[in-house]
Structure 1
């Protein structure tokens, strides 16, 4: 069944690609041909299905790119992997940019067919969906201290936690430590009942959500009980040396300069540290300098520290999120 019933324009160029396994072709097209519809919309082409062939109509460059995307997704299915909306989105964003590989402690990163990076966790395989995400993941493996800076929805924290879980599972680190400044986002939450954990957990919930995406809930609870996973406010890091751990500081734009210095100097032997933040969402009191800005200024020329930047083009949440971010950026004179 064709994804579009209207005939292609007479001026459109046609490219035909054949797929030997009709069952895999069905998976490639998606339910109600939704995968093909997404490709049509994003690349400005028309795709017609003829038996085990797909005919692509459009401008020469667009049809060539469409064929590359369709071929890559079909090869993914041939390798026994699934194709869902996220996979289509990733291929549309990164098609043809997966050839290079990275290193980790002298060894190649885990790669699957096509050279794409995969992060193995207990519950899923996580793959970067944009070039910026790919560069970020490579830097997390290759550097002991890495920064991820950019707007909400670009995967900064999600990918950092995924890499941390992967390195923990493989035995490269003994602990995962996730921290956030306990700063209210513009509103007063008032008195929270319960013990200290009950009071700070609302601030930490995004980190719990990420962990539960990668590890079974019972295992997360057990590892937290054994202190092999710690989720705590930034202030709880004072006076500690964090050795043989994968450490993530999330929402770092809300750390003061003194807090950032304190946190960065906790780095111990055998540890990796990731700092994530969004400079446009600073919730500190007026006049208080963000430690993230200071860290960028002071540390950017140190070779073993990487800075990775994201834009609205790297947003992998709902498409409206990217549009919202762009609208606010356009209205902000500091951007």
Structure 2
């Protein structure tokens, strides 16, 4: 019988019971955990009851809970088959990211395949993210290899999108506890004080591109829950002052609109166990005239420091409409001619 296969109820089996079979009893013991603590965690979170019967586990409860419990058990068993341990954090991750009717995210085995045959892929249950250009592949490698990495280049080159994809992958893999996404609330000369609504309503339009990227990797209900639990934070750059960001994957988007002091403040928030990504486009600075861009200063001051990755994109790396690349090239040529 297939590993983790669902067994249809027999004539003498209650209709609300589902059996999941595991062929290796030794792995099944590790799956259940000491004093069945892993089973207890699944029961509590999914409102089901799990009973051991030889090399089978019987799941009792509502149909949706049974389905999710079976998928969590199957994923954890596959982890054991691969020679990896199952700890409390692994059970928690599968419960948070396990599949449901809507799909709830990325499993550990689905997350990432890197450098096999020269490919770099990030897999989710919603889509496959594959860097298309050499610059994008180098960028993704840099995000995994460096605690601090910069992605600099024009719009449409995947700087933010790939950074968020890697952040979600590392979060699901248990490498970080939080994802923090930020950007300066500076756009085309507008000032927050003149906008209607409370502070959240004022800044949300500036944060929308970050929400859009997250929605491609995490279903709405799950994203909402993680935001409510503050395991994912999306906030203006000014809100980062005074914080130490430990065990987090941190992205500063549109960094060309950070001042030198803001950039220094943000970079010095890097805490133990964290990764930080800075993305920006030097050609789209919206700061007041005469105010230097913190991105340019950071590039100048930090380029010689080891273990900081600088990654550059050009119009050739644009993955939006082909006209976007042509438009960028035309503007670049005009600047060079001037």
Matched, 1:146 2:159: no
Matched, 1:207 2:235: no
RMSD (Å) for aligned C-alpha atoms: 1.7
Matched, 1:321 2:336: no
Matched, 1:287 2:290: yes
Identify the residue that residue 173 of structure 2 maps to in structure 1.
170
* Partner Cα separation in structure 2 for residue 188 and residue 267 of structure 1: 28
One of 299, 304, 318 as aligned partner of 1:301: 304
Give the drift of 1:197.
Answer: 1.0
* Partner Cα separation in structure 1 for residue 193 and residue 251 of structure 2: 27
Give the drift of 1:113.
Answer: 6.1
Q: Deviations over 1:202-261 (max 9, x none)?
A: 000000000001110111111000000000000000000000000000000000000000
Give the drift of 1:184.
Answer: 1.6
* Partner Cα separation in structure 1 for residue 261 and residue 192 of structure 2: 25
Identify the residue that residue 9 of structure 2 maps to in structure 1.
none
Secondary structure of the structure 1 residue equivalent to 2:113 = coil
- Native 8 Å contact 1:252 1:275 kept in 2: yes
- Native 8 Å contact 1:181 1:251 kept in 2: yes
* Partner Cα separation in structure 2 for residue 188 and residue 256 of structure 1: 16
Equivalent residues in 2 for 1:97-176 (5 A)?
110-111=113-114, 114-176=117-179
Q: Deviations over 1:76-129 (max 9, x none)?
A: xxxxxxxxxxxxxxxxxxxxxxxxxxxxxxxxx724863411113352221100
* Partner Cα separation in structure 1 for residue 252 and residue 137 of structure 2: 20
Q: Deviations over 1:251-307 (max 9, x none)?
A: 000000000000000000000000000000000000001000000000000011010
- Native 8 Å contact 1:153 1:315 kept in 2: yes
Structure 1's 135 and 221: CA in aligned 2 closer, same or farther, altered over 3 A?
same
Secondary structure of the structure 2 residue equivalent to 1:182 = coil
Point out where structure 2 has 5 or more consecutive residues left out of the alignment.
1-111
* Partner Cα separation in structure 2 for residue 124 and residue 280 of structure 1: 31
Structure 1's 113 and 275: CA in aligned 2 closer, same or farther, altered over 3 A?
closer
- Native 8 Å contact 1:121 1:169 kept in 2: no
* Partner Cα separation in structure 2 for residue 150 and residue 200 of structure 1: 24
Structure 1's 303 and 113: CA in aligned 2 closer, same or farther, altered over 3 A?
closer
TM-score by length of 1: 0.65
Give the drift of 1:186.
Answer: 4.4
TM-score by length of 2: 0.65
Point out where structure 1 has 5 or more consecutive residues left out of the alignment.
1-108
Identify the residue that residue 332 of structure 1 maps to in structure 2.
335
